[in-house]
Amino acid sequence: MSVKPIFFALDGKSLKEFEKQLDILKDHIYGVKVGLELFTSEGPSCVEQLKSDGWVVFLDLKLHDIPNTVGQAATSVSNIGADYLTLHISSGQEALLEAVNKKSKDLNLLGVSSALTSKAVDSSTSKIVENEFQIAKDSNLEGVICPASEIANTTNLFDLIVTPGIRLENDLRGDQKNITTPKKAIELGAKYIVMGRSIKNNPSMVINELEV
């Protein structure tokens, strides 16, 4: 069975909202993304439940705080078993290094640039991304959350590139401006992609139709 390099975004307030989709997608996609809404609603138990069910869990908290707090949070996330964790690169190198030092070896840290997928990236923001990703590399983070437009320029720094803002050809853009298709993102060099809206209402499509 071919496992597709997709994180399914659980953008909701309860795991129960996604029971049907998770049953269909199990063993067909790489993992799931738990965002701030779900985590603040259900707490660490949602990560623990997903891990118990056999899922790879990407905890998307985008930590941004003083070094000690970021480091202690990385320890806590390690203890609940998450596999990936996001933190803002703009927290500064000291905070990034503290997270690296305090996390478990099994937790992969993903740096987030201030150029989010809901923003259109121009030449100035592209430079910000480049500079921040270099800081992430120098801080020994395992990978980055990389907008579609910057994938090609990031492959020389990281193998672990996770790209959100993925849409199918006929999908509406919604609030995302920096988008691409699943196939194109992987061809450009993303290791994993994050999909939510495009597959929530039709998870079987991922198994039967989606080329990645």
Which residues are annotated as catalytic?
62
Distance, in Å, from the CA atom of 128 to the CA atom of 114, rounded to the nearest integer, reads 8
Q: Which residue has the tokens 């063993």?
A: 27
Q: Answer whether 64's CB lies under 8 Å from 40's CB.
A: no
Phi, psi values for residue 88, rounded to 5°: -70, 125
169 Cβ neighbours under 8 A, 6+ residues apart: 181
Quick count: other Cβ atoms within 10 Å of Cβ 157?
A: 16
Which tokens belong to 198?
Answer: 């495009």
59 Cβ neighbours under 8 A, 6+ residues apart: 33, 34, 39, 47, 77, 82, 84, 85, 86
Distance, in Å, from the CA atom of 133 to the CA atom of 176, rounded to the nearest integer, reads 21
